[in-house]
Amino acid sequence: MDLSTELKGRDFISLHDFTRAEISLIIDTAMGLKKELKSGILHPYLAGKTLGMIFQKSSTRTRVAFEVGMYQLGGHALFLSPRDIQLGRGESIKDTALVLSRMLEGIMIRTFSHDEVLELAKWADIPIINGLTDLLHPTQVIGDMQTITEYKGGVEGIKLAFVGDGNNVAHSLLFGGAKMGMHVSIACPPGYEPDAGVLRLAEEDARQSGARLSVVHDPLVAVEGADVVYTDVWASMGQEGEAAEKEQHFMQYQVNKRLMSVAHKDAIVLHCLPAKRGKEITDEVLDGPQSAVFDEAENRLHAHKAIMALVM
């Protein structure tokens, strides 16, 4: 596979920072790398390079995908827990960025405040990859759009309904959909709408791409005729204290067989995982014939490899 050098050196922090052509390039690269891997073709595009991975929050998929992905690309990944590195004892992000830039070729960070990622990117002179913040989860949505492309032949004109909290995943779906011409309808309880600033920026992009974006309170309205039904936990990492209260508000927002009956008959179901089975999604749907959730999880590997191979 001929790897494009167009994105070399770029940070991967928000899908809003990328053009439609650039996002398509990342998805196409992910699909190409997946094909090569399945055919046993080695692709050490990052031989000799090292990725540092700072995790201030837990992770199964993101960590394993970046670590295994880096190995498959011929490089090395370092897991940097805040318990062990000096950042956790108060060393500044600026100094951390300046030092790590002398030793690594890229940094992936998962943290709470989105500003921390921006601060890291401001001082680092190596690519910074956003592995999830309270605001955004862009690497997830590359894997999601890859999955939708595999099932539906593309993302343009696809109708995606996100049912649940207007959270980081919802925000990245809005940004990704808006760039790519995918219609995104968010159904959430009053008071749990997506961030107004994210929505405003996404709407600007949507005017260019023809994507229709909407926020509604009735899940049936969002899911009616949808090609993709997406959900996520009601309480994200860092909101554990609000989980019980949130549950009261989200009971009507469960993705179950009844809700799926109004979606397009060939609709697929996505969930970024981890799931709270029996809460935002039933076992019946998660394990059912319309679920593409475990393909979606696998695609994080290919998507992350594409991001690393293109920017590092």
Report the alpha-carbon distance of residue 101 to residue 107 in Å, rounded: 9
Q: Please say which residue, 15 or 272, places its beta carbon nearer to ligand CP.
A: 272
Which residues are known catalytic residues? Answer: 110, 137, 140, 232, 272, 300
252 binds ligand CP per the rule CB under 6 A:
no
| Identified binder of ligand NVA from the candidate list 227, 232, 280, 296, rule CB under 6 A | 232
273 binds ligand CP per the rule CB under 6 A:
yes
Q: Site residues for ligand CP, window 159-188 (CB under 6 A)? A: none
Stretch that binds ligand CP, among 53-61, 111-119, 145-153, 242-250 (CB under 6 A): 53-61
Binding mask 99-138 for ligand CP (x = CB under 6 A): ---------------------------------x------
Total number of residues that touch ligand NVA (CB under 6 A): 10
| Identified binder of ligand NVA from the candidate list 108, 233, 270, 301, rule CB under 6 A | 233
To the nearest whole angstrom, how small is the minimum distance from the Cβ of residue 162 to ligand CP?
A: 14
Q: Please say which residue, 67 or 227, places its beta carbon nearer to ligand CP.
A: 67
Report the alpha-carbon distance of residue 191 to residue 198 in Å, rounded: 16
Binding mask 176-215 for ligand NVA (x = CB under 6 A): ----------------------------------------
To the nearest whole angstrom, how small is the minimum distance from the Cβ of residue 61 to ligand CP?
A: 4
Residues that bind ligand NVA (CB under 6 A): 132, 137, 167-169, 232-233, 236-237, 272
